[in-house]
Amino acid sequence: MLKLTAADGHEFQNFEAGNVNAPRALVVLQEIFGVNGHMRLVSERLAGHGYHVLCPAIFDRAERNVELGYGPADRDKGLELRAKIPESAVLQDIEAAVAAFGNRPVGIIGYCWGGSLAWLGATKMQKFKAAVGWYGGGIAAEKTLRPHCPVQLHFGEADAGIPMADVEAIRQAQPGVEIFTYPGAQHGFGCEERPSYSPKDCELAELRSLAFFAEHLR
């Protein structure tokens, strides 16, 4: 874990993976379950493709050392913590993570809540060369924001929380954004700890994400 300090003086932990001297970097954003085993696994896997990775513990602003599972009580706890953290504070933490990489090209990728935050990183910051969001439920409400970098989004067609009407609305509002949908895939299809995990869809979405970063992080 690497401790960083945001612009407002808040100190927070980041899970760090990969070679610190890698030529490219990624900010990986958590689900509403904290920087748990799944997020560490994802960070390590992405780092294995030649990235220096930081995964900020965004929940540190409300409660430190949060690692939740995937049961209903865990979800409720995650939603409770998320509600305590202003968007502006989250962006400051992301900004601090980007700054830690120096002058290297940096991408941002997030899952669930982090997928929505990756969209905010692309539209409300100008620090990223590319952004990828997986099943970000909050993107539709912010679909008219203008991205400052190329964006790729991934959604499961059977996601009970993100109707395909929302995805189509995003597509209409953002014709320049690359959007992939996965037939039969549910919310969290990329998480090996969830019942909704779909290995084939996770593998395909990750291959697409990595190809996108390889193209734009130069």
Active-site residues, by number, are 112, 159, 187
By CB atoms closer than 10 A (0-12, 13-18, 19+), residue 95 is middle
Give the CB-side neighbour count of residue 159, counting CA atoms within 13 A. Answer: 22
**φ, ψ for residue 113 (rounded to 5)?**
-55, -40
Helices and strands in the chain: count of H runs, count of E runs: 6, 8
- Dihedral in degrees, nearest 10, Cα atoms 110, 113, 118, 120: 180
Beta bridge partners of 108: 27, 131
